[in-house]
Amino acid sequence: MKFRSPKMLRTLAAASCVSLMTMGGAAKAADSTQPIVIPLHNWSSQVVMAYVIGGMFESMGSNVEYVPADSQAVYESIRNGDVTISHEVWQSTFGKSFYNAMAKGGVIDAGTHSATTLEEMGVPTWVIEENLCPGLPSWEALKDCPEVFATADSEGKGRWLEGPQSWHGDLMPVRLEALGLADTWTVKFAGGADALWTELASAKKEKRGTIIFNWTPNFTDADGFTFIEFPEYFDGCRKEDGGDGSCGSPKGWLKKAANYKFPKTHPAAYTAFSKLDFTTTQIGEMAALVDIDKMDHKDAAAKWLADNEDVWMPWTQ
Please give the residue ranges that form the binding site for ligand TMO (CB under 6 A): 43, 90, 93, 119, 163, 167, 215
| Smallest distance, ligand TMO to C-beta of residue 257, A | 14
| Smallest distance, ligand TMO to C-beta of residue 167, A | 6
**How many residues comprise the chain?**
317
User: Nearest-CA neighbor of 277 among 169, 95, 116?
Assistant: 116
Residue 237 and residue 244: Cα distance in Å, rounded? Answer: 6
- 60-78: burial string, b at 16+ Cβ within 10 Å, e else: eebbbebeebebbebbbbb
User: Which of 117, 184 has the CB closer to ligand TMO?
Assistant: 117
| Smallest distance, ligand TMO to C-beta of residue 136, A | 21
User: Which of 90, 312 has the CB closer to ligand TMO?
Assistant: 90
User: Which of 36, 196 has the CB closer to ligand TMO?
Assistant: 196
User: Which of 93, 186 has the CB closer to ligand TMO?
Assistant: 93
Residue 131 and residue 226: Cα distance in Å, rounded? Answer: 13
| Smallest distance, ligand TMO to C-beta of residue 297, A | 15
| Smallest distance, ligand TMO to C-beta of residue 204, A | 21
Question: Tell me, what amino acid is at 161?
Answer: L
List Cβ neighbours of 42 (8 Å cut-off, separation of 6 or more): 71, 164, 166, 192, 193
User: Which of 215, 270 has the CB closer to ligand TMO?
Assistant: 215
Residue 80 and residue 105: Cα distance in Å, rounded? Answer: 9
